[in-house]
Chains A and B, each alone.
Chain A
Amino acid sequence: GQQVQQSPASLVLQEGENAELQCNFSSTATRLQWFYQHPGGRLVSLFYNPSGTKHTGRLTSTTVTNERRGSLHISSSQTTDSGTYFCAIDRRYAQGLTFGLGTRVSVFP
């Protein structure tokens, strides 16, 4: 089964609303990384967060490794936040990232 599960699969927001994206993983992970991808664009690293909470602008990443979960909080969403957000984990003894299927976020004015 899917080792990294993201929810929701898609999300529609009105500009200014907050959102919380969830990531749950079944394998033992050493790191969790969040990426953003605009349609047709490159994967942009948002957070590399092994544990705890990190903030960048309106984004907050929280990782609880021993509970095998992470979350990405978007506050005061803007239309430019539209795109797909991927969660990926580093599995122990493996170097390649294992990705979730992503959460597609659409923010309307």
Chain B
Amino acid sequence: NAGVIQTPRHKVTGKGQEATLWCEPISGHSAVFWYRQTIVQGLEFLTYFRNQAPIDDSGMPKERFSAQMPNQSHSTLKIQSTQPQDSAVYLCASSLGTEYAEQFFGPGTRLTVL
């Protein structure tokens, strides 16, 4: 079991560019979560999929951020027109998908917007 896989581990973009982050959940897990970690705000929930369907995106910024899960083996988080304040570590987690199941986290993608 390789655990949750996230790629790339580090990404540097210029202001205004697009960034796409990838997550591969643990095989057999039907729920995928995205979080963001910064020094100032700590760990914040962004969005959640179950069985590939978007269930809760209440933590997603309303503009420029979008997430998809086209198949059960990967999810993407896309940030359009990146801004310096988007710099953070973006974490993906997966769980079995049963109600309130334990979540397991990937290593994160450190995004730096210059």
Are A43 and B105 in contact, with the CB atoms below 8 A?
Answer: yes
Identify which of A42, A45, A101 gathers the most chain B CB atoms within 10 Å of its CB: A42
B102, A95: Cβ atoms closer than 8 Å: no
Q: How far is the CB of A105 from chain B (nearest CB, A)?
A: 16
Provide the bound-state CA to CA distance between A99 and B36, in Å.
Answer: 11
A44 and B93 CA atoms in complex are apart in Å by 11
Indicate if the CB atoms of B42 and A95 lie closer than 8 Å.
no
Q: Kindly identify, within residues 15 to 63 of chain B, every residue whose CB is under 8 Å from any CB belonging to chain A.
A: 31, 33, 35, 42-48, 50, 55-56, 58-59
Give 1 or 0 for each of B72-107: 1 = CB within 8 Å of chain A CB: 000000000000000000010100000010111111
Q: Are B105 and A95 in contact (CB under 8 A)?
A: no
Given contacts A96-B48, A96-B59, A98-B45, contact A42 B102 (CB under 8 A): no
Please name 6 pairs of A and B residues whose Cβ atoms are closer than 8 Å in the assembled complex, sorted by A.
Answer: A31-B100, A42-B91, A43-B91, A43-B105, A96-B48, A96-B56
Known: A45-B102, A97-B43. 14 other contacts (CB 8 A): A42-B106, A42-B107, A42-B108, A43-B105, A45-B104, A86-B43, A95-B50, A95-B100, A96-B35, A96-B45, A96-B59, A97-B45, A100-B42, A101-B42
